[in-house]
Each structure stands twice: as C-alpha cells, then as structure tokens.
Amino acid sequence: MLKFLAARIVYTLAVLVAVSALVFVVTELLPGNVATMILGTDATAEDIARLTRLMGLDQPPAQRFIHWLGGVIQGDFGESLRMQRPVGPILAGRLANSLVLAGIAFAMVAVGGLALGLVTALNEGTRLDRVLSTLAAIGTSLPEFVTGTVLILIFAGGLFSVLPPSGYDGFRDGTVDALRHLALPACALAVILTAYVGRVTRTSVIDALRSDYVRTARLKGLSERTVVLRHVLPNALVPAVTVLFMNLGWMFGGIVVVEEIFVFPGIGRLMLFGIAERDWPVIQACAVVIAAVYVFGNLLGDLAVLAINPRLREWTA
C-alpha cells in the first residue's frame, strides 16, 4: 500500500516535470523575438542585444529551463511582459477563483451524476429511464460554449434576468452575491460531466443489481431498501467514483471555455489573455499550473478509489 502510494507520487512528480519541460519547449518555439516584442520593432540592435543579455535569453535553453523550473518550484513565475508585474501573485488570485468555480461544479456533478445514475438504474426499462437516459446521452454532446450560451439566453437577459451573466468579483460583496455569480458558470461546467457520470453510474448499478450477491440478499428476504443501500450501492459506487475523480482534472480543462463565456476572472482567461498578448511567462505559468491541477486531480482520484475499494489495496500492496 505504502509502496504503491510512493510509486504513484513519484510518477506524478515525473509527469509534472515532463509537462513543464514540454510547456517550456512549446513557448520557446513561439514566433517572435521576446526582446523585440518588449522594445517594439523600431528599437536599435544594441538595445535588443542588451535586453536579451539582461533577461538571460542568450543562455542555452537547457540552462534557462532549469533556472525557470527552480523559480516555479518557489512560486516565482517570472514577470509578465504586458502587465510588467510578477506573474505569481496575479496567478494565485486567479487560481483561487477558478478552484472555487471548479469545486462548486464538482459538487454538482457528484450529487447530480450519482442521483441520475441511481434513478435511471432502479427504474431500468421504464419510460422515466428511457427519457432520462436519452437526455443524458444528449447532455454528453453539449460543449461548454453551448450550455453556457443557452444558460445566458434563458437566465441572464433572454427569457429571464434572474442571474448575472458576468461580473464575478470574489466574496467581497457577500456569499449570496458570489454564489449568484457562480451559479451559471458552474452549471455550464457541470452539465456534460453530470450526464457522463450518470451514464456510468447507471451501468454499474444495473450490473450490481444482476449480480449473485444481490440475488442472495434478496432470497434471504431482505427488504429492497436494504438490498440497494447495503449491497448494491457500495459495489456500484466504485466505477462511478473512479470516473468522477478521473474527470476532476478534465473539468479544469473545460474551465478555459467557461471562463471566457462568463468573463470569469480565473486562470483560464488569464491564459487566453497571455495567448492573445503573446505574453509567454503568463502562458507558461498558466499551462504548468493547469497541468499540475490536472495531474494532482488524477492522483486524488486514484487515492479515492483506493479508499473505497479494499480489493485494489491488496493487489497493489
């Protein structure tokens, strides 16, 4: 068990270094000389050479990568080219906003997806199941920009004007105000995964319902409620929770689109800003942090599955 944990953590760290290297290489390949970008096209050749030396851009890439990685570990992401400020503090605030958004969406997916799966499975073959299952299949086909746009059209200006389409500014104006601003983005983020988790849960509950141990439990004369709660759920939850946590990191990718729709001040929009402005320290920082959240999300998923499924623990120890 401990050995597995240690191996899994070493693997996670290795992936993180690999991902950082890839991000660094990618941003190295960005068109345009950085010094020219800062000074403008009419700078003299000497000025450009001086700034290049000053920023350490004349060093070999490998050396710069190690220097950069060393900074990243200490939370120093360098300085933004456009904003002329350190990236670290800006990033921290934006990341906090994104984590709040992702956290709320994740809770929605967990509750909604498991409930959807359970309801459809327990009513398998009925009209309710067919309607909900078809809706879930369609739900997995809706990209975030579609759900987000539809939500705005319905709740934020089109049919009704009950929720704000943009303008999240943290919890400064109270929790209620913050939650009102978070509601639509979180829903947009949650729809596709809720549908997906619902489908996986449905399959695993149905499999459990058909198993021998459930038949035994029923033949013992246990009430249907006890059978579902004590025998079906614990077994059926394993695949559902696995999928749920495996997609924790995936959700953090979708956050880029959702933040763009709802003008949400998170890490995704910061990255889009970096791309639009060719601000490579910002792009590097955002990419590494998003990748890190993704990798740690997957690690968290593995641990959660380990915690609820004793069988796995024995195999891997």
Partner 1 sequence: MKALAKDPLFVVALAVLTLHVVLALLATHVAPYPFDQMHYDAAMKPPSTTYWFGTDRYGRDVFSRVLYGGQITLAFGFGAVAVCFLVGLPAGLIAAYFGGIVDQVIMRIMDVLMSFPTLLLGLLILIIAGPNLVNLILAVGLVYCPRTTRVVRSAALAVRQSTFIEAAQVRGERAPYIIVRELLPCAWGPIIVEFCIRLGYAILLGASFNYLGLGVQPPAADWGALVQEARSYMVRAPWTVIFPIIFISTLVASLHLLGDALDEWLKEGDVA
Listed residue (80, 77, 67) closest to 38, CA to CA: 80
Which of 101, 116, 144, 182 contacts partner 1 by CB under 8 A? 144
User: Counting contacts by CB under 8 A, is residue 49 touching partner 1?
Assistant: no
Select from 182, 181, 188 the least CA-distant residue to 150.
188
Q: Using alpha carbons, select from 284, 271, 292 the residue that is nearest to residue 34.
A: 284
Subset of 156-175 contacting partner 1 (CB under 8 A): 157-158
The correct pick among 55, 119, 146, 179 for binding partner 1 (CB under 8 A) is 146
Token pair belonging to 67: 């220097």
- Residue 145 in the binding site for partner 1 (CB under 8 A): yes
C-beta closer to partner 1: residue 228 or 289 = 289
State which residue, 168 or 252, has the beta carbon closest to partner 1. 252
Site string for partner 1, 240-279 (x = CB under 8 A): ---------xx-xxx-xx--xx---------xx--x----
Contacts of 210 (CB under 8 A, 6+ apart): none
CB contact at 8 A, 297 and 33: no
**Please, what is the minimum distance in Å from the beta carbon of residue 273 to partner 1?**
12
**DSSP per position, 40-75:** -TT--HHHHHHHHHHTTTTS-HHHHHHHHHHHHHTT
Binding-site member from 36, 59, 140, 309 for partner 1 (CB under 8 A): 140
Produce one character per residue of 135-168: b if its CB has 16 or more CB atoms within 10 Å, e if not. ebeebeeeebeebbeebbeebbeeeeeebbbeeb
- Does residue 287 touch partner 1 according to CB under 8 A? yes
Residue from 41, 74, 141, 175 in contact with partner 1 (CB under 8 A)? 141
Chain position carrying tokens 């906090």: 96
Q: Which of residues 122 and 150 has its CB atom nearest to partner 1 in the complex?
A: 150
| DSSP codes of every residue in 133-169 | HHHHHHHTT--HHHHHHHHHHHHBSSS-B-S-SS--B
Whose tokens are 């958004």? That residue is 101
Least spacing, CB of residue 287 vs partner 1, in Å: 6
- Within 6-45, the residues that bind partner 1 by CB under 8 A are 15, 18-19, 22-23, 26-27, 29-31
Q: Given the rule CB under 8 A, which residues bind partner 1? A: 15, 18-19, 22-23, 26-27, 29-31, 134, 137-138, 140-146, 149-150, 152-153, 157-158, 249-250, 252-254, 256-257, 260-261, 271-272, 275, 283, 287, 290-291, 294-295, 298
